[in-house]
Each structure stands twice: as structure tokens, then as C-alpha cells.
Structure 1
Amino acid sequence: MAGIYIHIPFCRQKCYYCDFYKTVNTSLKQKFLTLLNEEAKLRKNYLDNEAIETIYFGGGTPSVLSANELENIHKNIAENYRVEPDAEITFEANPDDLTAEYLQQIKAAGVNRLSVGIQAFQNEHLKKMNRRHDAAQAEAAINNAAKIGFDNISVDLIYGLPGLSDQQWEESLQRVYQLPVQHLSAYHLTYHEGTPFFTWLKKGTLKELSENESVNQFNSLVESSEKAGFEQYEISNFARNELYSRHNSSYWMGKKYLGLGPSAHSYNQVSRRWNFSHVESYVRGLEAGSDYFEEEILSDKDHYNEYIITRIRTKWGVSLSDVNQKFGSEIHSHLLQQLEKYKNTGLVRIDNEIVLLSKEGLFVSDEIMSDLMII
């Protein structure tokens, strides 16, 4: 089983915190869509005819697509790949795009899972991030989607925002729990170089939350989500009734995936490939039949590091026996030696040969991952 990720790089306006590749210039949109379908045809052998169990439309803002444009992409994928009848088809969207009519149209086009970028329920923070919607539109979009028949809805929130109080964060969480959603992705704000938030932080016009405040908000997220019936199955992802993101889970399980569109990454368990993060370069390369991507062949150490990075973040953890079997005794010994550092810290535990992070360990996962990897 494998997955396909489709990057739609267009946005109506840019959020001040976001460093994903995107553009507000839609002049190349139609040419891009034509060449996106062409790329899908050119790369049909990349996954060795494995069945496709997930398709994920990300961005950018996929909801800038019309329903007809979405349907055309989906149809092209179905013609060139072996898509499972029960495949998870996820579609990222902004709340203000999700009118009742549009929701009906994308559902008819095959979308069965919505991922809605809400980020906050305080209009002051939405304006600060340069989001297009307000809190009322966010709630209306989720409720309308549920009424129309979407029963697998995920929402995104951000904590650690400058000026976000613990009370406001708890308010956002409680509003999510009261909505008909089955999945929550909650991320700590990162100040990425090149974004307005990063520039303002360096200038001193934005003040970063303290580490204690960030820890409090993470702890509140973990505790309140559990009370509301959500299981934390990855550092930033929570699901009701085991409705995990099948697409993202396939990344963490090391399955193959194909990435289409500018900046999209692909992995076939031998190499990793990534398309140029530029619409013009992507279009020019495909039109000319020249390179529009870079690629690297992965070593055993690369595969091991990838395994650590993806699995340690999840409820499934790192299997010591898997490491020994897949990567050999030398790497297995390295892992055991590095784990000794965490023996009495309370950050890591080992249950039946499975290495897992504690709640405290989850918050410092980057440091732990770095220690366990082979640099």
C-alpha cells in the first residue's frame, strides 16, 4: 500500500507564520494544473504499481481549486494508479472557502476527509496571523460539513502564539471538542526564517512565549484532549475512535509515497526525491522535459535515522527488535548505548522492547531524536 501527496501551491493571501511553499500569483494556475496531471502520468511507475490507499491534497490552499479542477485531478490519478475503493482522500481547506455548495461539490468529487485550518478561535490572533476567516466562519464551516455528511473532519490549531494566554488556548480547545470533529492537529508555533513573524521577532515587535508558558499549553492540550475522548497517537495529532490520519501514519510507518507538484517529496524506500519549490521552475522543467527535482539515494544510516525520526514521535514507538533486524547489531548497539542517557530521566520508557516517549519526553522530542540518531 502507498500514498500520493498533491501540493497545490496557491493561496489567496499569505499567513505571517507559514513557511510552506506557496504563492498568491495565480497566473500560472491553469498551466500548473495541466502539468500536474502530466507529472502524475510520467511517474506512474514510481510506486511499482502498489495500491494507493491515501491521497492527500495539501498546500498552499487546495480550496482555491474549483470542484471541477479537483475532480479532474482525482480522475487523472484514478486512471493512472490503482486506487483502493476505500482510499482516504484528504483535502486541506480554509474555513471561508467551505460554503455549503462547495462542500457538496468536493464531496461529490471524492473527498472523504477534510482538514480545516482554523489555528485559533480568537479573532485578534487570527488577524495577527493574517488568516482570512474569523471564529464564527470556522464554526459554521465545520457544522456545515457535518450536516452535508462529512464524518471524518480534522482541524488544525496553533499554540505558543505571541500573546496567547493559557485561558485563550483552553477556550480554543474546548470549542473544538464541542464541534463534530474526529481529529485534531495542534502545533507549537515555529518562527521560520523568511516569514513576517520571524522578522518581527528579531525586531522585537513580537514577543515569544516563555518555555514555561509553552509547556503549560502543551500539557493542557494533552490532558484536556484525553478527557474529551481524543487519543494522542503522535506528538501533534489526536483522534477520536481511532480515526487516525491514514496518510500521515503511512509516513511514520515508512510506507512508499509519491509527491506531485512543486516542493512535494517522494519516497520509494530506496531514494528520496523532492520537486523544486517554485511554480515557474516546476512548469518550465516539465514543459522542456528537463529536471524539476532533486534526488538522493538513502544509505542504511539514512534509513535508520528516518525510522527514529518518524516512529519515536508516535504511540507505536521504536521497536528494538526491528532496529536489530533491519539495521544490524552495530546500529542496535548504538541505540541501546544512547538510551542509557535517559535511563533515569523519566523522558523515555521501554515497554516490551518498544521505546516510547513519556509526556515530558514528547515536549523535548527533537533533542531525544538527535541523541538517538547517527549523525
Structure 2
Amino acid sequence: MSEAGTAKRPLLLYVNTPFCNSKCHFCDWVVKVPIGDLRLGPESEGRRGHLDALKVQIAEQAPALVERYRPELMYWGGGTASILSPAEIETLYGALADAFPMAGIVESTIESSPESLTLDKLRLLREIGFNRISIGVQSFRDDRLRMIGRAHSASMAETSIELARQAGFDNINIDLIVGFPDQGLDEVEQMMRHAAQLPVNHYSVYAYRASEGTVLRRRLDRANAKTDLANQLEAYQLASDILTEHGFPEYTFAYFGNPICQADLAYYQMKLDWIGFGSGAFSVIDGRMKGFRAGKLRDYIAHPTEFDYDLPLSSGAQAGSLIGFALTTPEGVDAEVFRQRTGITLAEALELPEVTAYLDQLCQYGELITDSAGIRFAREDIAKVYISMNWHEQPAEDAEPAPAGPVPVEIGLPAAAPA
């Protein structure tokens, strides 16, 4: 057999940590997670049980993966991955290193929150191979941070960036949010100009989404208040202009800077398979989407190798999700990549009712470009399309859907849940 015939495919290792120090008021991911589980400490039964379950899942699923894949990217997210104690970090990384060849990983990212970072922990992360860190800053104003329920202060945010630099991280992302209902453009401009002066090379800028079930959404509903789409679009454009002016161009929707985040683009552009470990994680393997439902910590602990769902990427909603992810990039949906990933042609997918309905929504805000290579939006339309789509309510997910019921991954842009 030729070398090409035996070549292993690249793989992204994703590890989910379903714990946080606070239940942020804007985050739709934590809506599904009971606060008693979300804020478990390292010595709690739930935290210890989750770590043990992770080790079981990794050990049992890795051998079949290693036969066909080579790990190329690693991403620890959540929740808040940096909430893990040094002992938990070492144990978890050790389980991965025992099961997978790690030498070929070129980008290794961990999501973090400022209050959970210390110099010793950051040095440990660098020592075991993390070369990129994403810090959930969100704002540099203490009043804004309190309003959105963050556990850190503005000074902690700046200190965490400096500590990361001291520990040897030279690839640092910070998350920021614009477009809150009461946020004027002056606040956005002040935040972005300050952010652009920091020792940071990458920025994720999210437009606030008033997701149902969040504290901020309930406050808006009680006050009969509404967010202002025009203001959100203007705030995002202002943030984009300032970052571009300072040498941090937008390379895909919401992401600015260099080097680009390879894990994010692999996810959005469907470029490679990934395996998701942990409660709330999902995988894309062999043309199927498999995973564990968010907020079901004890179910995962009891059955860490039994996915809660296992669905073909060719099904209507899953194909729609992949198309929605890819259209956030300037390259859009590559027809050949889509066929390879899903087993159906892009033309066939575009005839599926779920995909047709979703694209009809998207095309209210931008013109879809279609040619033999695939489909895409003009770069200047992408932000307008997806920020506008934040205003479309997603149908509620059943607590315990039957196998033939609603699929677990919502169509559209993945809900941002910055750490």
C-alpha cells in the first residue's frame, strides 16, 4: 500500500470543562447547567467524578482514533478550562499524553478567565505544551463586569494578560463583547482603543445576544426593553475599524489578529475531524456528529463512553449547522469539502427543508454568492448577516428528546460562551 494510502488524517483534540466561577448573566451555555454543578470545587464529588470519567473516555476511545488519526490541534474549553487546579491539569494532560502522540500538535489553546490564572498555573500550562491562551476579559470597566456577572475586575483582566506574558505565552487572545443595550459607542471606542494597546495579538469580538433564559434577557423582558440592532452593527463596525487601524485585521467573523486560530477555522471550515471529551462536548468523526448534552454532568460521569446522540452530518439540521458555521468565513462553504465531510453534495443539501429555511433567513441580510466552488457571503456582509441572526429566537430544546426528536446542535452561528 502506498504511503498516501496509509497516511493518517489530522485530528483536533477538544476537552470540555463544564465548570465556572460564576454564572455569567449573558451566557446562554450556562442556562442549561445547574449552578450547583457549574461551581463545583476541585475536591467535590462532581469534579473528581468528571475527571475520572474523562480518563475513562480518553483511554477507551483513543486506541481506535490513533490507528487512523494524528493529533494536530488541541483545545481545552468550557465552561472555564483554566478553573482546573494544577493537579487536575497535570492528571488530565497525562491521560491525553498516555493515549495520543502529542509531539505533532502545532497549536494548543486553553480558554481561561482572569480570576482563575496565577503565574504558577500559567507556567505549568506552558511547560506541558500549551502555546496559545484565550482570556475572557469581556470589558475593562468594573461596572460593566458587575452588570454581566463576571467574577473578575478590570485590574485582574490586565494583570492576567501580563502574567501570561511572563509565563512565556506570546500568542494571547482576549474576548470582548460589544452591543449591550445600554452601551454607548463611546464605551466601545474606549474599550477597543485600550485593548489595542495591550500586549495581545488576537481578539475575539462578540456582539451581545439577548439569549432566552439568561439573566440579562430576563432583565430586558421585565423592563420591556429591547436591544438596538442598528447600534449593535455600528458598535461591531467601530470595534473592527479600530482593530484594523492598529494592525489587527478581521480574518473571519469575530476574529482579528495574527496568527489566526487554527482550531477555530478547522471548526468553522469543516477542515478536519475532532473528538470531544467531557460533559457537554461533541465530536465530528466519520461523517457523524456525536456528543454529550450540556448540563448532564452525572449522566456523563456514569456513562463517559456512551454518546447522548450520534447523528449523520447529512441530516437536514446537521448539514444546516455546518453550512451556517462555514458561511461565517470569507471562503464560505467549499462544495468539495462539504461532499467529503457529509457524504452528500452541497446541491443536495441546499434542497433540504431545514437548510432552505435557514438560508432564507440569512439571505434577508446579505446576498448569497453561488458558483461551482460553493457558496459564500461577501466579506462586508458577514457581520451584518450573523449579528442580525442573533435576533432570531432558537426553538427550545426538549429536556429529554427522543432519538427521532430535535437534534442537539442548533442551526446557525454557534452561541458564543466566552470563558
> What TM-score range do you get, normalising by the shorter chain?
0.7 to 0.9
User: Deviations 1:19-57 (Å, cap 9, x if unpaired)?
Assistant: 224511332111211111111112112575311111111
Contact 1:311 1:317 in 2 (8 A): yes
Does residue 267 (structure 1) correspond to residue 284 (structure 2)? The answer is yes
| Residue type of the alignment partner of 1:364 | V
Contact 1:323/1:332 (CA < 8 Å) preserved in 2? no
Classify the secondary structure of the residue corresponding to 1:295. Answer: strand
| Correspondent of 1:247 among 259, 263, 269 | 263
**What amino acid maps onto 1:210 in structure 2?**
D
Whether 2:310 is the aligned partner of 1:295: answer yes
Structure-1 separation of matches of 2:66 and 2:266? 14
RMSD: 3.2
Which residue is equivalent to 2:327? 312
**1 CA distance for matches of 2:345 and 2:309?**
29
The share of aligned pairs that are identical, in percent, is 25
Secondary structure, aligned partner of 2:76: strand
Amino acid at match of 1:25: L
CA distance in 2, matches of 1:276, 1:334: 29
State whether residues 316 and 349 of structure 2, in contact with CA within 8 Å, keep that contact through their aligned partners in structure 1.
no
What amino acid maps onto 1:83 in structure 2? M
Output the CA distance in 2 between the equivalents of 1:221 and 1:244: 18
* Equivalent residue number for residue 195 of structure 1: 214
Q: Structure 1: where are the runs of 5+ without partners?
A: none
- Report the equivalent of 2:186: 167
- Runs of 5+ consecutive residues of structure 2 not aligned to the other structure: 1-9, 393-410, 412-419
SS in 2 for 1:276: coil
Structure 1: which amino acid aligns with 2:135? Answer: V
Name the CA shift for 1:351/1:178 in 2 (closer, same or farther; >3 Å). Answer: farther
Q: Taking structure 1 as reference, are residues 31 and 210 closer, same or farther at Cα in structure 2, changes over 3 Å only?
A: same
- Which residue does the alignment assign to 1:281? 299
Q: Does 1:13 align with 2:22?
A: yes
Query: What are the superposed Cα offsets for residues 94-142 of structure 1, whole Å, 9 maximum, x if unpaired?
Result: 1122222222222223221101000011111100011111111111211
Write the distance in 1 (CA, Å) between the matches of 2:235 and 2:22: 28
TM-score by length of 2: 0.77
> Which deviates the most, 351-360 or 172-181?
351-360
The 3-state SS of whatever aligns with 1:43 is helix
Paired AA for residue 285 in structure 1? H
Alignment partner of 1:220: what SS?
helix
Pick from 220, 233, 239: which aligns with 2:251?
233
Tell me what 2:384 maps to: 363
Contact kept? 1:19, 1:195, Cα under 8 Å:
yes
Kindly provide the CA deviation profile for residues 131-183 of structure 1, in whole angstroms up to 9, marking residues without a partner as x: 11111111121122113310110110111113111011111111221111111
Separation in 2, partners of 1:117, 1:368: 23
**Which segment is superposed worse, 357-366 or 135-144?**
357-366
- Amino acid of the structure 2 residue aligned with 1:262: S
CA distance in 2 between partners of 1:294 and 1:360 (Å) = 34
Give 1:264 shift: 0.5
Task: Report the Cα distance in structure 2 between the residues aligned to 1:368 and 1:87, rounded to whole angstroms.
Answer: 34
Whichever residue aligns with residue 75 of structure 1, its letter is G
* Aligned amino acid, residue 232 of structure 1: E
My pick for the range that moved more, 211-220 or 346-355, is 346-355
Amino acid in structure 1 at the alignment position of 2:238: S
SS at match of 2:69: coil
| 1:2 aligns to 2:11 (yes or no) | yes
Change (3 A) 1:342 1:144: closer
> C-alpha offsets along residues 50-88 of structure 1, whole Å, 9 cap, x if unaligned?
111111111111122112211221121122123343432
**Structure 2 equivalent of residue 70 of structure 1:** 89
Report how many aligned residue pairs link the two structures.
Answer: 364
Residue 210 of structure 1 is aligned with which of 221, 228, 231?
228
SS in 2 for 1:173: helix
* Aligned residues of 1:300 and 1:327 also touching (Cα < 8 A): no
The alpha-carbon distance between structure 1 residues 181 and 298, as it changes in their structure 2 partners (threshold 3 A), is: same
After TM superposition, the structure 1 stretch with the greater mean CA deviation from structure 2, 79-88 or 243-252, is 79-88
Shift of 1:356: 3.3
CA 1:47–1:201: 2 relative to 1, 3 Å: farther
Measured in 2, the distance between the counterparts of 1:58 and 1:332 equals 30
